[in-house]
């Protein structure tokens, strides 16, 4: 795993960065933390880090002094500087200290991910070069393949002469690319484990011609073979071997020429995603999964209903909804993007929302969230389902306990507030108006409402109005602008924009779709 050191004097920043990175790159980094530059130096003297994020303004020793001290270290990490102060003088000092990048708080996720991806590519490439140092010319072929996978513009770097010298002339006749993993392969193996894995495969295929093993530049193992039957032979021999893990191979369609290798790799990578729903297969073929054209509508409403039931003590209803959302009969025959979208919505509408409301109070329950939040961490669909079910049950009991611990007067008041909103949703509502109506402090009302209802006041009112609008769209012949006015939106353009953002389709498309389904 890649060693990552986060240096910041605010704990919420340190843990927040870890949470954001872990969700995007699960099980890829080994995290360490320091509150200031002095503590970071002590940690680095004990064990070096591959990457370091550091704030600028910290007590005891700030980020710039830390960077200056690091210049004398024999092994220096790649450094990304963080600051809430967008001042050029800091960037100048950072450049002199060979900082890789400079991010301004609040950090934009896309910028953070882009920086990490580039650093990981650099680290992997260095590992590749280090591994190959001293190896004989037979590994030139692997280097050429890695270059073609990881570099966008090679120009004339790869010529037919080089391919011939590397023994790769057979690529022009056609080949398939396979991405090879072992059971439990959601975590990145160490370079030593990966090398041992390739040696095991090489032993099983000894004596066969026109195939090669290499890495993909991000820690994965790929195999290129002229005859795709070789992948099936390898899978059979692995099953009969003494190795306890399950070998899984995702193979591309047949392509010709090394210039097609990225396309083949992309196909294999996409095919590997299907292993969660095709866990009984050792070899997954792109040609078979590419025929999946079924298009199913993601159950957005069911996920929203599940979110609304959180903390209500209605576990059986939640279980029934989860069964419908993660219906294995639909998922097993659908494109993998259908399951990916469901997973994304469960993250956003359930787990993210709970954290936004309860913050650090629910952190211990959400620790497995980074793992549950990415389907690529699971070898089997049933394992993913069980993990989601367990997390939902834990969060449901947590929210229920929080509500029960609230004073009876507060519970009674919030019940009256919700009843009031159900009646007055079409009025010109805002939190100030409602809190004044119930003679409550604005700040207290905001927090109490969010903890009791499970969502913010504005989100609750918007969802309530949309639910009423959907009822009218299906069960009345009112015009869209009339419905918009009746449910309380300020104007029809705002209503149409919110409806499309929430439902993914326009109000008229929603009406047509529901009436069509109703007649069927």
pLDDT in tens, the chain (520 residues): 789 999 999 998 899 999 999 989 988 899 999 999 999 999 988 888 989 999 888 899 988 888 888 887 777 888 888 876 555 455 555 555 567 778 887 888 888 999 999 888 888 777 766 555 434 434 566 667 777 777 655 554 555 667 777 777 888 889 999 999 987 544 444 555 777 888 889 889 988 888 988 888 777 889 999 999 999 999 999 988 888 788 999 999 999 988 888 899 999 999 999 999 998 889 999 998 887 766 778 888 898 888 888 887 888 999 999 999 999 988 988 899 899 999 988 888 887 777 776 766 666 776 666 678 788 888 889 999 999 998 888 888 887 877 666 666 666 788 888 888 988 889 988 888 888 888 787 777 887 888 777 778 888 899 899 999 999 998 899 999 999 999 999 899 999 999 998 888 899 988 888 877 654 3
Angle at 180 between CA 217 and CA 154, to 5 degrees: 30
Rounded Cα gap, residues 441 and 120, in angstroms? 50
Nearest CA to 368 among 116, 23, 11, 12?
Answer: 23
Distance CA 24, CA 216 (A): 19
Beta strands in 390-514 (DSSP E): none
- Structural contact between residues 163 and 257, judged by C-beta atoms closer than 8 angstroms: no
Q: Are strands 2-7 and 51-55 parallel, antiparallel or unpaired?
A: parallel
Separation of CA 237 from chain center: 34
Quote the CA–CA distance of 30 and 27 in Å, as a whole number: 8
Minimal CA–CA distance to 5: which of 51, 41, 38, 45? 51
Strand partners, 55: 82
CA atoms within 13 A on the CB side of 235: 21
H/E stretch holding 508 reads: helix 507-519
Using CA of residue 38, residue 39, residue 40, residue 45, what is the dihedral sign?
positive
What is the 3-state composition of the chain as percent helix, strand, coil, each rounded to the nearest 5? 60, 10, 30
Torsion of CA 438, 439, 445, 451, to 10 degrees: -50
Judged by DSSP in three states, 22 sits in helix
Complete edge-to-edge strand list for the sheet that includes strand 2-7: 29-34, 2-7, 51-55, 78-83, 101-104
Q: Give the separation between CA 264 and CA 363, rounded to whole angstroms.
A: 41
For residue 278, what are the contacts with CB-CB under 8 A and spacing of at least 6?
Answer: 284
- The two three-digit tokens of residue 414, written as one number: 């919030």
Long-range contact list for 423-429, CB < 8 A, 24+ apart? 425/461, 425/464, 425/465, 425/468, 425/487, 425/488, 426/465, 426/468, 426/486, 426/487, 426/488, 427/488, 428/488, 429/461, 429/488
How far is residue 136 CA from its own chain's centroid?
39
Residue 426 and residue 471 in contact, taking contact as beta carbons nearer than 8 Å: no
Q: Which residues are CB-contacts of 286 (< 8 A; sequence separation ≥ 6)?
A: 250, 251, 252, 253, 267, 268, 270, 271
């Amino acid at each position: 795993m890649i060693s990552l050191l986060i240096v910041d004097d605010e704990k919420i920043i340190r843990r927040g960065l870890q949470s954001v990175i872990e969700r995007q790159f699960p099980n890829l980094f080994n995290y360490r933390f320091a509150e200031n530059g002095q503590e970071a130096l002590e940690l680095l003297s004990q064990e070096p880090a591959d990457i370091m994020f550091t704030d600028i303004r910290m007590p005891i020793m700030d980020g710039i002094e830390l960077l200056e001290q690091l210049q004398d270290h024999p092994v220096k990490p790649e450094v990304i500087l963080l600051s809430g102060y967008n001042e050029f003088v800091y960037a100048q000092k950072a450049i002199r200290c060979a900082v890789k990048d400079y991010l301004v708080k609040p950090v934009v996720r896309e910028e953070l991910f882009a920086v990490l991806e580039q650093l990981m590519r650099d680290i992997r490439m260095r590992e590749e070069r280090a591994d190959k140092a001293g190896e004989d010319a037979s590994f030139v072929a692997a280097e050429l393949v890695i270059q073609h996978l990881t570099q966008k513009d090679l120009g004339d770097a790869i010529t037919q002469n080089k391919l011939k010298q590397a023994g790769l002339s057979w690529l022009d006749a056609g080949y398939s690319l396979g991405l090879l993993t072992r059971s439990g392969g959601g975590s990145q193996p160490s370079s030593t484990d990966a090398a041992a894995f390739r040696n095991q495969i090489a032993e099983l295929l000894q004596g066969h011609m026109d195939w090669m093993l290499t890495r993909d530049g991000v820690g994965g193992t790929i195999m290129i073979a002229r005859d795709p039957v070789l992948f099936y032979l390898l899978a059979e021999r692995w099953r009969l071997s003494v190795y306890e893990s399950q070998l899984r191979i995702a193979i591309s369609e047949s392509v010709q020429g090394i210039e097609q290798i990225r396309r083949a790799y992309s196909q294999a990578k996409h095919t590997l995603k299907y292993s969660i729903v095709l866990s009984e297969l050792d070899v997954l073929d792109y040609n078979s999964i590419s025929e999946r054209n079924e298009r199913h509508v993601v159950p957005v409403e069911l996920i929203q209903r599940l979110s609304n039931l959180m903390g209500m003590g209605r576990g059986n209803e939640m279980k029934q909804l989860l069964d419908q959302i993660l219906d294995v009969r639909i998922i097993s025959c659908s494109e993998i993007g259908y399951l990916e979208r469901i997973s994304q919505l469960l993250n956003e509408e359930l787990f993210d929302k709970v954290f936004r409301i309860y913050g650090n109070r629910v952190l211990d329950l959400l620790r497995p969230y980074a793992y549950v939040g990415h389907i690529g961490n699971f070898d089997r669909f049933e394992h993913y389902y069980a993990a989601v079910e367990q997390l939902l049950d834990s969060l449901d009991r947590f929210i229920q306990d929080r509500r029960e611990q609230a004073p009876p007067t507060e519970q009674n008041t919030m019940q009256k507030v919700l009843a009031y909103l159900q009646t007055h949703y079409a009025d010109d509502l805002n939190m100030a108006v409602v809190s004044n109506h119930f003679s409550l402090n604005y700040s207290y009302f905001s927090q109490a409402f969010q903890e009791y209802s499970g969502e913010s006041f504005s989100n609750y009112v918007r969802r309530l109005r949309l639910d009423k609008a959907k009822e009218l769209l299906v069960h009345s012949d009112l015009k869209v602008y009339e419905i918009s006015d009746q449910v309380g939106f300020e104007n029809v353009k705002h209503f149409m924009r919110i409806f499309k953002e929430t439902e993914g389709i326009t109000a008229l498309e929603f009406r047509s779709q529901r009436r069509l389904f109703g007649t069927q």
